[in-house]
Chains A and B, each alone.
Chain A
Amino acid sequence: DAGVIQSPRHEVTEMGQEVTLRCKPISGHNSLFWYRQTMMRGLELLIYFNNNVPIDDSGMPEDRFSAKMPNASFSTLKIQPSEPRDSAVYFCASSLRGALNEQFFGPGTRLTVL
């Protein structure tokens, strides 16, 4: 298995632009997670899906952030409009079922908003 796949690996954009991050979970995994990692706040859960349905989005910072999972093999995290404080590494992870089973992380997308 190729593991969790994320794209792009690096993204540099200007403030106000729309940013879309993509994730392909491990085949057969029913749960998908989006995390954000910064030096100041560490690793934070933004949102997670079970069977393509958002279960907990309490970590989404504000309405500028949105996430979708149209099918079991694809998810997007969108930021519109982006701001410099959104600069971070965004990780996608998946698990067989639920947040408490072993989670497998992708390599992350390093986002820089100028």
Chain B
Amino acid sequence: KQEVTQIPAALSVPEGENLVLNCSFTDSAIYNLQWFRQDPGKGLTSLLLIQSSQREQTSGRLNASLDKSSGRSTLYIAASQPGDSATYLCAGGGHGGTASKLTFGTGTRLQVTL
């Protein structure tokens, strides 16, 4: 059974800093790894999706990496802004044909201060 862990649970950084969010998963037979953002009282927004054959994906100031052998993924945010404040969740997609599904971590709550 896939288990996904995100540490730390909360992080506060000053505006302009580069930062890294961590995600660990137990089953290396992962199909893909997805990063989501959740604003308070809102649903999840997909940020990046890394297939198991890929090592990283980039979108603007965001870069996500995937290391299946170590069971880790990181989300790098460059030049952080107050608007980046949100909870970031990672989710591992497992194999299993039509029974495949995402297993979510509990998230890292990020606050970017002025």
Contacts and interface: CB of A to CB of B under 8 A. Distances in A.
Contacts of B42: 107-108
B107 A42 contact: yes
B106 A98 contact: no
A93 B107 CA distance: 18
A43 interface: yes
Nearest to B4: A42
B44 A105 contact: yes
Contacts, number: 50
Q: How large is the interface on A (under 10, 10 to 19, 20 to 34, 35 or more residues)?
A: 20 to 34
B34 interface: yes
Contacts of B89: 43
Interface in B15-52: 31-32, 34, 36, 42-46, 49
For the residues of A in contact with B, the DSSP-based class is strand
B70 to A, nearest CB: 21
Contacts of B88: none
28 contacts: A4-B43, A42-B104, A42-B107, A43-B89, A44-B104, A45-B102, A55-B98, A55-B99, A56-B98, A56-B99, A91-B44, A93-B44, A98-B98, A99-B93, A99-B101, A99-B102, A100-B31, A100-B102, A102-B34, A102-B46, A103-B44, A103-B102, A104-B46, A105-B44, A105-B45, A107-B42, A108-B42, A108-B43
